[in-house]
Structure 1
Amino acid sequence: MDSLTQVAPHVWQLPFAVGHVHVVALPAGGYAAVDTPVPGSAPAILDALARLGARPHDLRQIVLTHSHIDHMGSAADLVEATGARVLAGAADAPVIRGTAPEPQAEPTPAERELHEQIMEGFAAAGLPPLRHVGVDVELRDGDTLDGWPEPVRVLHVPGHTPGGIALHLPGSRVLFPGDIIGNVGGRAVLGPFNVDRARAVASFRRLAALEDVDTVCVPHGEPILTGARKVLAAASPEEDWL
C-alpha cells in the first residue's frame, strides 16, 4: 500500500495491491469510503482516516460498487470498528449479505490466466476469510446519495456483476466507475471477470458517454486525472481481455 493521495476536491485515493479505496470528505463532518479492498485491509483504511484527522466513528458511509471480495472484503470489519452504514446496488445486496451465492464470471483465456495469478497472490498473502456484512441502503439507478459535497448520481452498471453501480459527481466532474473501467498504462479498459460481457461493455459505453467527467477514480490502476473524456472515447472495451 502506498500513500494517501488527493485526486479531486474532497476525494483521496488509498491504493492497495488489488483494489483501491477512495475516501470522500462529507460537508457535515465525517467521511465516506467507496469500496473496501480484500479482507484484512481495515487497519490501513482506519490509519488513512487518522491521517486526515478522523476518528473511527467519523466514517459514516461505506459505498460498495459491487460484491467482489476485493471491493467488499473489509466492509464487515470497518462496520464493527466505525458503525458506518453500508450502501450497495440492490441486485448485489444479497451476495454482500451472504444470503445468495456470488454469480460466476465467464472468463476469456486471458482473464483465466490473470485470475490464476491473482488467486496465487491471495494464497501467498494468507488473506483472512471473507466476512459478509449487512446492507443498510439498496441503491438503484437514478438514486442520489445524501450528505455528500454535491448531488451524487447513482448509475446501475450491470455486467461485471448483476448489481454493480457507478457514482457520478457532475459538479466536480468525478466518476467512480467500479470495475466497469480500469486503467492499464494510461488506457481505459473494460474490467475483467464479467458475469455478462455484453452488458459490461454496454455499461462501459454508458459511462464513457457521460459529459461531465474529468477525473475517473478507477479501483484498479492509476486514476485518470487529465483528459478523461478523450481517454474514454479512445477505449475499445469490445476488444479487451480477448
Structure 2
Amino acid sequence: MKKLIIALVALLPLTGAAHAQTIKDMLATLRAAWDKPTEPFRIIDNVYYVGTAGLASYLITSPQGHILVDTAMPEATSQIEASIEKLGFKVTDIKYLLNTHAHIDHTGGLAEIKQASGAQVVAGERDKPLLEGGYYPGAQEEAALNFPPVKVDRTVHEGDTVTVGNVTLTAYETPGHSPGCTSWSFPVKDGDATRSVLIFCSGTVALNRLVGHPTYPGIVDDYRKTFARARDMKVDVLLAPHPEMYDMAGKRAKIADGAPNPFVNPGEFNTYAATLEKQFNDSLAKQTAALEKKE
C-alpha cells in the first residue's frame, strides 16, 4: 500500500492525457487493496471498525442513535452497511455522517448511506463545495477522482461539536490534505479510565501540488499549521482514514479479553505527525526543485 501511494505522488509532474490515464490505472490497482473485505470489530468502548481492509469507517454508538465517520470507495458501501448490521446495529439508526476530508476513498458511500439512513452529513466548511461537487480539489477534470456528490447539511469549524445521546465529538481543523480537513476527538471508557480518541483527518501530501499551481491557495501554510498544533495534542487512541496509518491490523491481532487494549498508545499520534511533517518537507523540497528545473 505504501509503495502505491508513493507511486501516486510520482504522478504529480505529469500533465494532460498521460496524467489522467496513469491516475486511472493507479486507482484501479489501489481499489483492489482498498476494497478487500474485513470483519467488523469493536475497537474500544462504543467505537467500532466497519470499514474495508484498506479504508477505515468508524461507527460510534449510543442508545439514542449512532455516528458514522467516513465511508470508503463507492463500490464498497454495501460492505459498510453489512458490517454495521453484522455488529447488531441498524443503518437507519445513524443520525450523523461525519467526513474527515473530501476525497473519493473516504466519501464514496456518503450519498448512498445518507439516503438509506436519513442521516445529516457534517464536514469542514472548506470541503463543502468539494463534497457537493463530487471532485478532488484543483482537479475537477480528473474523472477518475470523482465521487457521488452529497449535500452537506452542516459545516463545522474549530471546536464545534456533534452530539447524539451521551456521545459528543469535537471538530479540530487540521487542513492541508484537503482545505476543510477535519479531525474528530471524543472521550471513551477503558475500564475505569477515560481515554481521548482522535480520528485524524490526514497529513499526507498524496496527489497534492504544493508549488507552482498548488492544489488550493495557502496549502503549504495549512500543512504547517496542522503539524505545529499536532506537537502539543494529547491523544490516547489514534485512529485514521487508512488503517495502516495506525497499524490497525497489528493491534487488532493483539486484542484479548482482560489484557490492556492495544489501541491505547499515548504519544503515538505525536510521533506519527512528526513523521508526516518530515515527509511533507521532503515533498515540498522535491516539488520545488522540479519546478525550478522546469523553469
Question: If the TM-score is normalised by the length of the shorter chain, which range does it land in?
Answer: 0.7 to 0.9
Residue 227 of structure 2 corresponds to residue 204 of structure 1: yes
> In structure 2, do the counterparts of structure 1 residues 88 and 162 end up closer, same or farther at CA, with 3 Å as the change threshold?
same
2:148 counterpart (119, 131, 136):
131
Match of 1:22 in 2: 58
Question: What's the offset of the Cα at 1:50?
Answer: 0.7
2:71 to 36, 46, 49: 36
Matched, 1:227 2:265: yes
1:155: Cα distance to partner? 0.7
2:40 — aligned with what? 4
1:157 pairs, out of 148, 153, 174, with: 174
Paired residues for 1:90-101 under 5 Å: 90-98=125-133
Contact 1:24 1:33 in 2 (8 A): yes
Name the one with the larger helix percent.
2
Distance 2:269 2:136 in 1: 32
Q: Does 1:77 align with 2:112?
A: yes
For each residue in 1:90-149, what CA deviation from the matched residue of structure 2 results, as whole angstroms up to 9, or x when unmatched? 1101110118x53238xxxxxxxxxxxxx9xxx8xxx9x721010111111110112164
Partner residue in 1 for 2:206: 192
How many residues in Structure 1 have an aligned counterpart in Structure 2? 210
Report the CA distance between 1:208 and its aligned residue. 4.1
Tell me the SS of whatever aligns to 2:277. helix
Residue 147 of structure 2 aligns to which amino acid in structure 1?
Answer: L
Give the deviation of 1:201 after TM superposition. 4.0
**What's the CA shift for 1:198?**
4.5
- The AA in structure 1 aligned to 2:78 is P
Task: Name the counterpart of 1:217.
Answer: 239
Sequence identity (%): 27
Contact 1:208 1:229 survives alignment (8 Å): no
The TM-score, its normalising length taken from structure 2, stands at: 0.64
SS of equivalent to 2:164: coil
Q: Which runs of 5+ in 1 are unaligned?
A: 106-118, 181-189
Taking a change above 3 Å as real, the CA distance of residues 239 and 45 of structure 1, as seen in their structure-2 partners, is: same
TM-score (norm 1): 0.76
* Residues 1:64 and 2:88 aligned together: no
| Gapped regions of structure 2 (runs ≥ 5) | 1-36, 188-193, 209-214, 252-262, 283-295
